[in-house]
Each structure stands twice: as structure tokens, then as C-alpha cells.
Structure 1
Amino acid sequence: MPFASSGETPVTSFAAPLDPSILEALARYDTPTICNAMEIVAPERRLIGFTTKPLVCPFPQLPPMVGYARTVTIRSVLKSSLPADEQAKRRIDYYEYVGTGFGPRISVIQDIDGPDVGYGAFWGEVQSNVHKALGCLGVITDGSIRDVPQWAPGFQALAGSIGPSHAWVHAESFGVEVRVAGMTVRSDDLIHADSHGAIVIPHELAEKVPEAAELCGRREAPILEIARSKDFSLEKLKDALRRSAEIH
């Protein structure tokens, strides 16, 4: 079971995963396009559900990742108060949480060190390889990462910073609601992310998003066509905008 530190309540997981074909369809689009599509299917979420602060992406060439969130809070300035045997048990509990449930999975980690966020890196050569082996596609964190040249191949990272030390870094809680770079995430939320950032896609809306993404592309096509044309003119742009607005 997910561990929650004092005062926090684990969030109930969704009962069943989505059809894998839906995740495959979502992965065909970059995250800005998914954000555009979400504006169509859920206009009430236009100001919520996505990262709003810049994150470092050391591997921008990697394709978009789509997976279910594994949520964690960490801190590194203060040493864990738990005895060594309890720390070891919690580490195993954490890995069981990350490595179980439906997948693929994405680790979403909030650094709760306040003004010292990113002081120590939870992520590096070891954790990236371990989490990849546990079925994770990557990590989204406002904390720091390190060991970039030794990072697990194909394991994506969006991080608040890059730093050299892990200091006293340890997991405080997992399976609880977190907020990373302006994006609020619960355990098992569906996440779409690439080098631009990340967005939460509500499970009940996921099947509608690829079709909306296609609609966005069709609406942009006439505008891009004239904007890239040697015969561009303001009148032709006006016509393209009119034709775009008529596409449904």
C-alpha cells in the first residue's frame, strides 16, 4: 500500500487501466498539441492540469511519454529521522508502490524543501536505471537530477535543476497528491509529457483527445500553408483564417 506521512491521506487508485490503444494514440502527439486538444474537450480545464513553470529536459530528442503517475514527496536538507531498519523498509515499500499497478508509469516527485528545493538530487544513474527496470518511462520533478551522462537510456526527465549531490535526500511520502511546477497530480493520473512540459489527462476524457488533436491539426493547416507560401498576403491570411474557423 502507498505510504502517507502524518496528516496525509493516500489517494484511491482508479479501478482499471485504459485500453493501451488510447495511450498509443496519445503518444503520437507532442504535449502542446495535447494541451490544444484538451482546450476543445475540456475548456473548463484551460487554466489547470499542466506544468506552468519551466523544467530542464536533458533529453529533448526522446518521444512523448504517456503513463500513469506514481507520486512522491522528497526532501534533502533534513536527514530522515527514521532508524536505519525503518528507512530500509520504507525504501522497499516505495519500490513496491512504483513497480506495481497498471502501467506504463511515470514518476512525479515534489521536492518539499521550500526555498532549498533541488538542494539534493533524488535522481541519478542508480534511480533512473532502477525505475526504468520497475516499468517507469521517466520522471517529472521540481527537484534536481544528476549523473546525466550515466542516465538510463531512453528514460525521460523533466527536472527543476541539475546538481551534483544527493545531500540527505529521501522519500517523505508516496501515493499522495503532489504539485510539481504548477501541475497537481494524484496517484494513477494519466500524464502526457515531453520536452515542453506535462499535462494531466482525466481518464474519462482520454479517448476523446486524439480526435480533438486531429481537429487542431486540420484547423491549423490552411493557416500554416499560406504563412509558409511565397504568395503570402494579408488577404490570403484572412481567407485562411475564415476557412480554418469553418473546420469542425
Structure 2
Amino acid sequence: MNTELLTLLRSVDTPTVCNAIEVVEGKRGFDRFTRGTVLCSDPAAGAIVGYARTAKIAALAPPTEAPDVIRARRMAYYRHMSEGPRPAIAVVEDLDGADAIGAFWGEINTTVHKGLGLSGALTNGVMRDLGDLPDGFPVIAGSVGPSHGFVHVREVGTPVTVFGLEIADGDLVHADRHGAVVIPTDYIAEMEQAVRKLLDTERLILEPARAEGFDFTAFEAAWAAFEAART
């Protein structure tokens, strides 16, 4: 992914990326996006864009494996997060699902991940320390809670499911306060042109709608131009 595309993707929201993917496909129906409502630690931070570094955690009950196994897996987790292509996003599935209570994403862990070069985190799990999280590292999570519970790493680098979206290690993810979307590898080369075409097309309706004197006649003309540009 070149610098120009990365800058462009960071400048637009996730709904725009969903629409741009449909521009690439030439039809509606793309469905590799999250379901349900997410929470964002910093809604004003804008989008996070990067290659997924995946893992699975759990926190409701203490781990049943030996402590040295748990410690070794946690270190393997951080090694995995420190490696791989950049930009990168930590994508972590909490296996406790709707019952998740373990706030893996607090001040210390987010600061460590930012220091390791990641751009943010996407999780169906829990975040905390909202006033103390580092700038420039948005966390998109399923809930907010006070405790880390018995949080421990279960798997590293395996496919995960977060808000109904299956994400493999290395997938290109775009995420913000709306949710997340996976950009298919085959589409990456076309995304810059698709996003720019989409933005240009939307201006055909948005600029008249924001102008003084906008009425149905102006809308009808603008919508005709908008529809013609989309086909």
C-alpha cells in the first residue's frame, strides 16, 4: 500500500470505504463489515488503517493451563504484535463474547501497543482508563469496564471474529467509530481511484443541497447528475 493511498484512507470514514468497495465491484452487496454498534475511545481521532495482527483472549475465568505456558503465550503475543507489515492494527477477539468483563485495553496495554508501532485496536471486548489512553491510538471496542478480570491470551495469529466480521491475520482493515471493514487484497490497487470517484460523485448532490435556494427543482437536477455519475 503506497503512501498516497494510506493518507487518503485515513482521511475518510469507514462508510466511505464501504461505498468505495462497491464502486470497485460495480454493484451493491459487499458484506465484509462489522455488525452492531461499537464504542470508540476517541471518536474524533478519525480512521485507523492497517494490516491485522490477530489474537484471542478470555477473562471470565482463570486460565487452566500452567502459568509458564500462559506467560510464554503472552510474550509470543507481544512478539507477534511487534512484527509484520506496517501500518498495523491489533484485532483481538474476546472469547467471552457478550459476557466479556476483562478490560485488556487500558492505559498500560495501549501504550505498549502504540510503542510497538501499531495504529490502534479493534476488539469485541472491553476497554478502560478512558481518560489516560495515549493519543493517536484509538480503541474500537464492545464495552467499557473497570477490571481486567482474569484476562489471558488464548491464541495468537489465528483468524478471529469481531462484531460478526471474520478477519484473518494480515487482512487490511479500515475502522472508525462506525465499525470496521476488510478491504480485499485484490481491490487495494483500485481503492484510491474508487474513493476519489465516490467523493467526486457525492459532491454532485451535496454541494447543491448545501447551497442557498436549494429546492425540489435544484434537487431533481442534482439527483439526475448524481445518478448518471454512479452508473
Report the TM-score when normalising by structure 2: 0.93
- Does the CA contact (< 8 Å) of 2:97 and 2:124 recur in 1? no
Aligned position for 1:189? 171
SS of equivalent residue, structure 1 residue 246: helix
Equivalent residue in structure 2 for 1:61, among 12, 21, 44: 44
Match of 1:90 among 66, 73, 78: 73
Question: What is residue 88 of structure 2 aligned with on the other side?
Answer: 105
TM-score using structure 1 length? 0.87
In 2, Cα distance between equivalents of 1:57 and 1:115:
17
Deviation at 1:47, TM superposition (A): 4.3
Post-superposition CA distance 1:126-149 (Å, at most 9, x none): 110111111111111111111111
Displacement after TM superposition at 1:45 (Å): 7.4
Unpaired segments of 5 or more residues in structure 2?
A: none
Q: Does 1:167 align with 2:149?
A: yes
1:60-97 superposed Cα distances (whole Å, 9 cap, x missing partner): 11132111001111111121112222221111111111
Where in structure 2 are the equivalents of 1:64-79 lying within 5 Å? 64-79=47-62
Q: Percent identity?
A: 38
40, 51, 64: which is aligned to 2:23?
Answer: 40
**CA-to-partner distance for each residue in 1:170-210, whole Å, 9 max, x for gaps?**
11112111111122100010011122221110122112112
Counting matched residue pairs gives: 230
Is structure 2 residue 64 aligned with structure 1 residue 81?
yes
Relative distance call for 1:44 and 1:245 in structure 2 (3 A) is: closer
- Contact conserved, 1:218 with 1:247, CA < 8 A, in 2? no
**1:23 and 2:6 equivalent?**
yes
Structure 1, 140-149 or 38-47: larger mean CA deviation: 38-47
- Taking the aligned partners of 2:128 and 2:86, their CA distance within structure 1 comes to 25
Partners of 1:143 and 1:44 in 2: how far apart? 33
Partner secondary structure for residue 41 of structure 2: coil
Amino acid across the alignment from 1:93: A
1:152-182 deviation per Cα after TM superposition (whole angstroms, max 9, x unaligned)? 2211111100000011111111211111112
Higher helix fraction: Structure 1 or Structure 2? 2
Residue 225 of structure 2 is matched in structure 1 by: 243
Q: Structure 2 counterpart of 1:63, which letter? A: G
- Out of 40-49 and 154-163, give the one that drifted further: 40-49
Structure-1 residue corresponding to 2:115: 133
Q: Residues 235, 158 of structure 1: CA spacing in aligned structure 2 closer, same or farther, 3 A cutoff?
A: same
Structure 2 CA distance for aligned equivalents of residues 60 and 119 of structure 1: 22
